[in-house]
Amino acid sequence: MIMMMPEKPVRLRDFIEDRDGWLYAVSTYDNVPRVGCVLRYMPDPDGERTTPDGRRFHKLDFEEAYEMIARQKPEYRDIVQRVPYRDIDRVRKPEEELAAISERNPSVQKLVDLFGLPAGSMGCTGSFLCGLEIQSSDIDLVFYGNAWFLAQQTLKEATLEGRLEGIDEEMWMRIYRKRNPELNFSEFLVHEKRKWNRGQVDGTYFDLLYTRPYDALNPIPSGKGRSLGRMSIVAEVRDATLSFDNPAIYEVGHEEIKRVLSFTHTYSGQALAGETIEAQGVCEEHGDELWLVVGTTREARGEFIRSLSLLESDESA
């Protein structure tokens, strides 16, 4: 059966499966008339991943996914892939699959018990959502709306009290190398350690990922505005409420720039309201506003956000 429009809106961190069995991670909130996503897994008889029912898949990296789409499904090409609803066979929702994932993975169950949140406010995405996890897979937990902040506080308390493993220096270095940011390791670590959006359970790394609840999707367009070139600013953050969203949004007080957006997870939660940031990215025109966009490429070379306030307080500590 080919899906037309699902009962619940497709939202960030869901997965969709097209009629050929290709699996895509949903990467936007503006998913009408087509779903914005990135191809992650393809059926492959020689694939390195296997579902519980024995189907084999190949995991694609970012560049490989775009090349595959360009070659085999060019009609989906855009900034991200755009899949029409007529081509979608199934929507996988992290919150709806959490119970089944927990049943087959004791570490996920341990985290569900730790956070103790109501059904529907927490989920699990990524390879676990697709039934394609392997022993080395990270756990990508999703929390909806205010549940994310409750989870953040629980993670902090459980780690400080020793109920959860802390992230050791070796793991921080692994994360740093994977992210490969413009910040040096010392700057990266200072920012990351206060976010409390990463942890370890039974030696497995996990993330806390923010997604808006259904009654507050209010998507901002994910399309590019008119580029006005590279720009660097220093500005005060006025609102960081959605700084853990994707994109991360920082409303700033600046004579030209209205907001700073980050499309790379590295700079989510990077600064608090009232702090002064230095940000470098691409200035884009959106309507009558100018936005500074960080993460305009996969590597985000030459693009960053750093909290000058945090770095200054760390130096004086």
Q: Residue 111 is part of which domain span?
A: 94-214
In-domain check, residue 2 = no
In-domain check, residue 5 = no
Provide the token pair at 303: 């693009």
Residue 221 has pLDDT above 80, yes or no: no
Please tell me whether residues 199 and 210 are part of one structural domain: yes
What was the pLDDT predicted at 316?
64
Q: Among 75, 92, 109, where does a domain finish?
A: 92
Please tell me whether residues 250 and 305 are part of one structural domain: yes
Q: How many CB atoms lie within 10 A of CB 1?
A: 6
For 265, counting Cβ atoms within 10 Å of its Cβ (0-12 exposed, 13-18 middle, 19+ buried), the class is middle
Q: pLDDT per residue over 147-187, tens digit each? A: 999 999 999 999 999 999 999 999 999 999 988 999 999 99
Please tell me whether residues 250 and 311 are part of one structural domain: yes
pTM of the model: 0.93
What was the pLDDT predicted at 1?
47
Total domains in the chain come to 3
In-domain check, residue 7 = no
For helices 106-115 and 94-104, the axis angle rounded to 10 degrees is 120
Please tell me whether residues 231 and 284 are part of one structural domain: yes
**Sorting pLDDT into bands at 50, 70 and 90, what band is 296?**
confident
Residue 110 has pLDDT above 50, yes or no: yes
Of the candidates 302, 301, 282, 278, which has an alpha carbon nearest to the alpha carbon of residue 292? 282
What was the pLDDT predicted at 224?
78
CATH number at residue 180: 3.30.460
